[in-house]
Every structure is written in C-alpha cells, then in structure tokens.
C-alpha cells in the first residue's frame, strides 16, 4: 500500500508539470503611431497601439483561466528622437492618460488581461496602449525644412510578459515575479513643418494736407516649426501693383499713394518679389517671431477729405 501511494503522487505531479509547460502565452505589439505632430500648435497628440495576446491550453486542463501581465520599465516621460532632437511623450493604461503604464514589480500599473479557455485550445485578445505626446513643446525641430520622423524603439529589456494559469482564485500581477518572456515595439511621430501668422493694422496720422511724408508701422507675428525656412510676401492691394500701392477713399472719389517697406529707412519695398519689391525670409524657432512692416505716404497732391484705406494680404510660404 505504501509503494502504491508513492507512485500515485509521482504520476499526479508529473501530469501537472507537463500541463503547465504546455500552456503558454505570447505577446505581439504594434506600437503607437502618433501620425502628424505640429509642435507650434502647443496641443497634446494622442493615439493608441495594441498588443495581441495569444494563449494556448492543453485539450484537457485543470487551469482554465489565465492572467496575463505586461510590465514596462524605463524613463518617464519617454522620448522619441531624431538624431539629438527629442519629442516627449508617455504611455498609459487608460484613455484619459492618467495612469502611466509601468511595472507591477516596481509599484507601477501594468497592462493586463484575463482569458478563459475557449472550446478549442487557443484564444487571442488585444490590449490597448494609450499614448500621448506632451503639450507645449514649441521648439521641437524639423530637419531640412521637411516633415521629420521621430521614433523610440522600446527594448525587450524594458518589458516583461508574466502570466499564470489558475483554477478559481486569480493571482495579481504583483504576485507574478517570474518573467515568461519579453517584447519590443517602436513608437513613431512625424513632426511637420507648419507656420501661422497674425497681423496688426497700420494707421497713418490724420493730415489736412500731404505736403510732407507720413510714416507708420504695424507688425506681422509668425510662428513656424523650429528649423523651418519661411518667406512672407505682401499683396498689391486695391491698386493691383505692388510697386505703386494706393489707399482708396471710403465711398469713392480719390486715392492716396503709399508704400510698404521692410526697413525703417524706406529703401526696400515689401511685396511679392515682383516689380522691384522683395519678400521677407527667416527660419522658424518654434516661438513667435515679430516682423515690423514700415509704411510711408510720400508728399503728394492732397485728394478730397475723407478716410482712405487699403487691404493687404500677408502670405507665408514654408
């Protein structure tokens, strides 16, 4: 009787070990592709990735359920890079981006999923990675005035796949210290060349007669992606001629000649590059760049009294 008892215990133990070895899970991540990111927009950019989990049971099993835990270590915030340039972002377990994806073994919050054996032996499920590029990164540059890809490949050394098959009482991720594998994935974003401009109006001092020149100034404020080359041109206005601009009398019946310049000495007319005019060029910094527009009304025969105006369109090319 004692000899039979020992043999039964051995056989039962051997059967359990064989089942545990045959029941496995694997992880296949897609990473997060953020798409286009405009740093000068100053807004966060969010997107998701997935990790496909596949678990396999033996045909007959004593442990029909499995807890799968996906742990992540590494810096926070994370950084996607292009050369020495970096774009800050982070990975989260929730769509509200409030809980950062971490490792249960380091007191963080892992991604996890519980699967129950199907009629067959294999079941797959997807776990969502929630990614967000941080807001207020205006000086992140593009390269060669072109849309620029930033990326981070999270190494397998920073991840672990931990799982446990069980019967009734589920384990927790914190109680699964042994890694059953690891996985690597790449997150990418495209920093785009982008510009926006705002303008202020120019007002000349009221004058009864135009026997001497009048001067005034206004400004154009540009914000362009760091490293992005830009050019600003000014339209002709109502005259249709950038070299001979005119303000028209409100209500009709007269015109006042004037010109816009790039300099306070009124030597270089600012237009679209035709008719002897030039455009203004620069390179974006990601921050606001203020460019002064200098206006001059030369001495001329004074037209009928009234208000005179012209509308100029500023166009930024990048």
Peptide bond into 77 cis (omega under 30): yes
Q: Identify whether the C-beta of residue 51 lies closer than 8 Å to the C-beta of residue 70.
A: yes
Alpha-carbon distances of 189 from 121, 148, 177, 195, rounded to whole Å: 38, 8, 33, 18
Residue-range domain boundaries for the chain: 24-191, 195-317
Which pTM was predicted?
0.86
Name residue 228's beta-bridge partners: none
Q: What is the pLDDT of residue 21?
A: 57
Report residue 95 as tokens: 């769509």
What angle (nearest 5°) sits at the alpha carbon of residue 122, between those of residues 118 and 123? 65
Q: Identify whether the C-beta of residue 244 lies closer than 8 Å to the C-beta of residue 262.
A: no
Pick the CATH number of 24-191 from 3.90.1200, 2.60.40, 3.60.90, 3.40.50: 2.60.40
Instruction: Find the distance separating the first CA and the last CA of the chain, reported in whole Å.
Output: 90
CATH code linked to domain 195-317: 2.60.40.1090
Q: Extract the residue ranges of the chain whose pLDDT is less than 70.
A: 1-21
Q: What is the 3-state secondary structure (H, E, C) of the chain?
A: CHHHHHHHHHHHHHHHHHHHHHCEEEEEECCCEEEEECHHHCCCEEEEEEEEEEEECCCCCCCCEEEEEEEECCCCCEEEEECCEEEEEEEECCCCCCCEECCHHHCCECEEEEEECCCCCEEEEEEEEEEEECCCCCCCECECCECEEEEEEECHHHEEEEEEEECCCCCCHHHCCCCCCCCCEEEEEEECCCEEEEECCCCCCCCCCCCCCEEEEEEEEEEECECCEEEEEECCHHHCCCCCEEEEECCCCCEEEEEEECCCCCCCEECCCCCCCECEEEECCCCEEEEEEEEEECCCCCCCCCCEECCCCEEEEC
Report residue 73 as tokens: 């270590």
- Residue-wise pLDDT for 17-75, tens only, equals 334 558 999 999 999 999 999 999 999 999 999 999 999 999 999 999 999 999 999 99
Name residue 151's beta-bridge partners: 81, 188
- Residues 267 and 260: their CA atoms lie apart, in Å, by 10
Name residue 187's beta-bridge partners: 152
Q: Could you check whether 24-191 and 195-317 share the same CATH topology?
A: yes
Q: Identify whether the C-beta of residue 35 lies closer than 8 Å to the C-beta of residue 188.
A: no
- Residues 318 and 310: their CA atoms lie apart, in Å, by 26
b/e string for 230-244 if b means 16 or more Cβ within 10 A? bbbbbbbbebeebee
């Amino acid at each position: 009787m004692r000899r039979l008892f020992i043999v039964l215990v051995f056989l039962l133990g051997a059967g359990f070990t064989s089942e545990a070895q045959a029941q496995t899970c694997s992880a296949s991540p897609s990473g997060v592709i953020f798409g286009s990111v405009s740093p000068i927009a100053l807004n966060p950019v969010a997107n998701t990735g997935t990790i496909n989990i596949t678990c396999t049971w033996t045909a007959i099993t004593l442990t029909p359920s499995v807890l799968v835990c996906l742990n992540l270590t590494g810096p926070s915030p994370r950084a996607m890079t292009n050369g020495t340039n970096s774009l800050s972002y982070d990975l989260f377990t929730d769509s509200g981006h409030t809980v950062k994806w971490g490792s249960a073994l380091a007191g963080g919050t892992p991604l996890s999923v519980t699967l129950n054996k199907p009629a067959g032996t294999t079941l797959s499920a997807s776990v969502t990675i929630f990614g967000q590029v941080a807001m207020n990164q205006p000086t992140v540059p593009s390269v060669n005035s072109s849309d620029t890809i930033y990326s981070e490949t999270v190494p397998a050394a920073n991840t672990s796949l931990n799982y446990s098959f069980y019967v009734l009482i589920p384990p927790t991720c914190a109680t699964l210290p042994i890694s059953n594998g690891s996985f690597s994935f790449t997150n990418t974003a495209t920093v785009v060349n982008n510009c926006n401009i705002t303008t202020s109006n120019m007002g000349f001092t009221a004058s009864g007669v135009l026997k001497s020149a009048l001067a005034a100034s206004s400004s154009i404020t540009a914000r362009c992606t760091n490293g992005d080359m830009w050019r600003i041109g000014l339209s002709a206005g109502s005259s249709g001629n950038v070299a001979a601009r005119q303000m028209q009398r409100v209500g009709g019946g007269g015109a006042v000649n004037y010109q816009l310049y790039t300099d306070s000495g009124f030597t270089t007319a600012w237009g679209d590059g035709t008719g002897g005019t030039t455009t203004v060029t620069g390179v974006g910094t990601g921050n606001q760049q203020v460019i002064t527009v200098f206006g001059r009304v030369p001495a001329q025969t004074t037209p009928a009294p009234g208000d005179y105006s012209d509308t100029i369109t500023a166009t930024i090319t990048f």
